[in-house]
Amino acid sequence: MDSNVRPETMARITTAELANAFIDEQVASVRKQVGDKKVLLALSGGVDSSVVAALLIKAIGKQLVCVHVNHGLMRKGESEQVIEVFRNQLDANLIYVDATDRFLDKLAGVADPETKRKIIGNEFIVVFDEEARKLEGISFLAQGTIYPDILESDGVKAHHNVGGLPEEMQFELVEPVKLLYKDEVRVVGKALGLPTKMVDRQPFPGPGLGVRCLGAITRDRLNALREADAILREEFDKNGLALKVWQYFIAVPDMKSVGVKDGKRYEGWPAIIRAVNTTDAMTATIEEIPYPLLHHITDRITHEVDGINRVLLDLTPKPIGTIEWE
């Protein structure tokens, strides 16, 4: 990165006009850098990788090879949306890998959060490496690095940078949005025609639902978490909270309590709602959710999601509680 170029001195991208000018500039720059060679991109479905993918498709079309690895820990409908948008709408050169069983088999019985994160991160690199080795003529690796990543880590971001690729696979990097802040990436994404749901997607940890299905992950509890989380997101969308709250999600702990269903006692898990606002993720405040809406969400989750019989609200700011539970 040119040490003289710093976003503090750049005009911020706040309008579609500025975004289009940036897109034109990057398209020309990428074409010059890449020529007729191929570029590989790990497409997570997150804002940054999705915007980079759309930008590179505009610049070099089928020379871009996108690999989307579904680790089985995505939110409901997310992998399907990646396929719909990139393969069906943008005609991308997309390789979809459903590695759900591989990941969940490796995670079976593992309760320690750090161990879970390591397994998920390492297995992702293994799967991505396997796919990369099947491809020929790849010269570049595209990444969704943005400016805060560079500030935070001096140019290396572990979960973006597929740093585990073998020594002999040396790629030159293509990082078209590395001087932008997250809000600018969203403006560029909208100008590229990506759906609002994808562009305004809230931050989502690399291990996905793996750090929200607390303790050792089981398929039934993971499925309950995914369904409850989808209801929370749907209700926040409907009630105007989706763009007002920085991050909101459900966590499901590995514990059961007694409930009543169809006149009989049964054991179920609690679903814990967390909704926070932050500007820098270093500190976070709790979003006020109207009680009538909380009652409605509780009613839906306990009636529609198999295995969940209680809904709790996490009222802990950061500090003292981190944003994620694990």
> CA angle, corner 39, sides to 36 and 40, nearest 5?
160
Same domain, 72 and 132: yes
121: domain CATH number is 3.40.50.620
Q: If you count them, how many residues does the chain have?
A: 326
Same domain, 195 and 222: no
Average pLDDT, the chain: 91
Q: What does DSSP say about strands 257-261 and 264-277: parallel, antiparallel, or unpaired?
A: antiparallel
Same domain, 55 and 191: yes
- Indicate whether 204 belongs to any domain: no
Beta partners for 173? 141
- Indicate whether 193 belongs to any domain: yes
Q: What are phi and psi of 311, to 5 degrees?
A: -125, 130
Among candidate residues 199, 234, 249, the one where a domain is terminated: 199
Mean pLDDT of 120-140: 92
Same domain, 176 and 248: no
Number of domains the chain contains: 2
How would you write 44-97 as a 3-class SS string? CCCHHHHHHHHHHHHHHHHHEEEEEEECCCCCCCHHHHHHHHHHHHCCCEEEEE
Q: What is the pLDDT of residue 57?
A: 98
Same domain, 192 and 224: no
Tokens of 16: 């579609």
Report helix angle 16-34 to 182-191, nearest 10. Answer: 90
- Going by pLDDT thresholds of 50, 70 and 90, the confidence category of residue 49 is very high
Q: What percent of the chain has pLDDT over 70?
A: 92
- Indicate whether 206 belongs to any domain: no
Q: Which residues of 161-188 are buried (b: 16+ CB within 10 A; e: fewer)?
A: bbeebeeeeebeebbbbbbbbeebbbbb
- The answer to whether 81 and 53 are in contact (CB under 8 A) is no
Q: What is the pLDDT of residue 84?
A: 96
Residue 20 DSSP label: H
Measured CA to CA in angstroms, residue 236 lies from 42, 230, 243, 275 at distances of 29, 10, 9, 10
For residues 147 and 116, the model is more confident at 116
Mean pLDDT of 291-315: 97
Same domain, 275 and 146: no
| Domain assignment of residue 268, given as a range | 212-313
> CA angle, corner 206, sides to 70 and 272, nearest 5?
100
Same domain, 86 and 121: yes
- Indicate whether 133 belongs to any domain: yes
Distance CA 20, CA 18 (A): 5
Same domain, 140 and 245: no
- The answer to whether 204 and 61 are in contact (CB under 8 A) is no
The pLDDT tens digits for 109-125 are 999 999 999 999 999 99
Q: Side-chain half-sphere of 201: how many Cα atoms within 13 Å?
A: 24
Same domain, 125 and 43: yes
Same domain, 131 and 90: yes
- The closest alpha carbon to 71, from 270, 209, 226, belongs to 209
279: domain CATH number is 3.30.300.10
Same domain, 135 and 229: no
Mean pLDDT of 103-112: 97
Same domain, 194 and 218: no
Among candidate residues 155, 176, 199, the one where a domain is terminated: 199
